[in-house]
Structure 1
Amino acid sequence: MTSPFPLALQEKLNKIPMLRAMEVDYRLYDGKQLQIACPLSPNINDKGTFFGGSISALATICGWTMTSLKALEAGVNCDAVIAEQNLQFLTPARSELTATCECTIPETFTSRLQAGRRARLDLTVSLHSDGQCVANFNGRYVAVPT
């Protein structure tokens, strides 16, 4: 698993064995968009498509990573947790799966964290395979300053 993220976040990600087993690849982070992916082979189900649990895990970790990155950009180390999620499966994924999260951070997220308070972030992640949207994910994350 390669990662273009700060060392503190890389260390947290490296402690999650499931991400290594899924072969998660961190592709892009430009401050506004995060894109991660994983191959089909370690995530395959009995139908030859992506296991729903892997799709859910990739979406969840994409939002978790975005929350963690935005907290670090605000100058705050935090523990990010998912509080609520909704995942809509649209069609089977038959090849590499890519999760993309784009977000605009509300000012209250940064100000609450910098004041040492919990801050929530609502994120959307779209999941694509073979150029087709296969699932949509909405998650509410909470960043807790450490």
Structure 2
Amino acid sequence: MLNELEKKLHSEIPLTKYMQLKVKELNENFLITKAPLNPNINDKSTAFAGSLSTLVTISAWSICYLKLKEMGFDNCMIAVIKSDTAYRAPVTKDLICETKVPTVEQLNLLKRKLEEKKSGSIKIESKIVQDDKLCVEYKGVYVVKI
């Protein structure tokens, strides 16, 4: 499923292909996505803020997409409607994003809203950590319509 997601991102959101974004792992706690520093570098030899923002935003969208597929919802419209990104420290190595898997309660509430109203929203958090230091912190609200 992760390879399918990566292909979908690269074909439907070309920026992710140029960033060389890779969907690496999904476990019970996190979705891990990565992108190499070199194609995402700025004039200070650190990761470009636009790439960092894209990675955390797309990663959160991706966990929403994967969980909706697990719940049996295909072809949903998913869009970020509100987000907050804090840049805490520069990223000087490859970008590694950890996106928190929503709780069972959050997912059940979203499922119920989709079944009853055909739309709902969910909050998703991502972060980029380098050498045990929080570099980027992201919180987004994603709306889903079926």
Q: Does TM, scored on the shorter chain, surpass 0.5?
A: yes
| Cα distance change, pair 48–11 in 1 and its aligned pair in 2 (3 A) | closer
Q: 1:13 maps to what in 2?
A: 9
Structure 1, 28-37 or 56-65: larger mean CA deviation: 28-37
Report the Cα offset of residue 97 of structure 1.
1.0
SS state of the match for residue 138, structure 2?
Answer: strand
Q: 2:99 maps to what in 1?
A: 101
Identify the match of residue 63 of structure 1 among 60, 64, 82: 60
In structure 1, C-alpha distance between the alignment counterparts of 2:119 and 2:28, rounded to whole Å? 21
In structure 2, C-alpha distance between the alignment counterparts of 1:128 and 1:80, rounded to whole Å? 26
Summarize deviations over 1:48-93 as a string: whole Å, max 9, x none. Answer: 0000000000000011001111111111121210000000000100
Structure 1 alignment gaps of length 5 or more: none
Q: 2:69 maps to what in 1?
A: 72
Q: 1:92 maps to what in 2?
A: 90
Report the Cα offset of residue 31 of structure 1.
4.5
Q: 2:144 maps to what in 1?
A: 143
TM-score (structure 2 length as normaliser)? 0.88
In structure 1, C-alpha distance between the alignment counterparts of 2:52 and 2:122, rounded to whole Å? 21
Summarize deviations over 1:1-22 as a string: whole Å, max 9, x none. Answer: xx725x4x45531321100000
- Number of aligned pairs? 141
Structure 1 counterpart of 2:110, one-letter code: F
In structure 2, C-alpha distance between the alignment counterparts of 1:23 and 1:130, rounded to whole Å? 21
| Cα distance change, pair 4–83 in 1 and its aligned pair in 2 (3 A) | same
Tell whether the 8 Å contact from 1:99 to 1:126 is kept in structure 2 after alignment.
Answer: yes
Q: 2:30 maps to what in 1?
A: 33
SS state of the match for residue 50, structure 1?
Answer: coil
TM-score (structure 1 length as normaliser)? 0.88
Matches within 5 A, 1:128-139: 128-139=129-140
Summarize deviations over 1:15-54 as a string: whole Å, max 9, x none. Answer: 2110000000111112442010111000000000000000
Report the Cα offset of residue 116 of structure 1.
5.8
Structure 2 alignment gaps of length 5 or more: none
